[in-house]
Structure 1
Amino acid sequence: MALTSTLSGRTALVTGGARGIGAAIVRDLVDRGASVFFTYLSNKDLATDMCRKLSSGSQRVVAFQADACDRASDGKIVSAVLEAFPAGIDILVHNAGGSVVKPLEDLTYEEYRRVYELNVAAPLFLTQALLPNLKRPGRIILIGSTGARLGMFGGSLLGGAKAGVEGMMRTWAQELGPKGVTVNCVCPGATDTDKMAKGAPEVIEKYFKARTPIEQRLGRPEEFATVVGFVASDDARWIAGKCILAYGGHYMI
Structure 2
Amino acid sequence: MSKILTIIVVVIVAVGVLAGGYFSFSPPIEQRADTPNDESSAAAIRGEEAAYYKDIKGYLATPGKNGTYPGIILIHEWWGLNDDIKELADRFANEGYVALAVDLYGGKIAANATSAREFSGEVRNNIDEAFSNLRAAVAFLRARSDVDKNRLASVGWCFGGGWSYQMAVNDLGVKGSVMYYGQFDPHDDFEHMRASILGHFGEKDTSITVDNVREFQAKLVTANGSHEVYIYPNVGHGFANSREGTNMAYSAEAAELAWTRTQEFLKKALEE
TM-score interval (norm. to shorter): 0.3 to 0.5
Q: When you count strand as a share of all residues, which structure comes out higher?
A: 2
TM-score by length of 2: 0.42
Q: When you count helix as a share of all residues, which structure comes out higher?
A: 1
TM-score by length of 1: 0.44
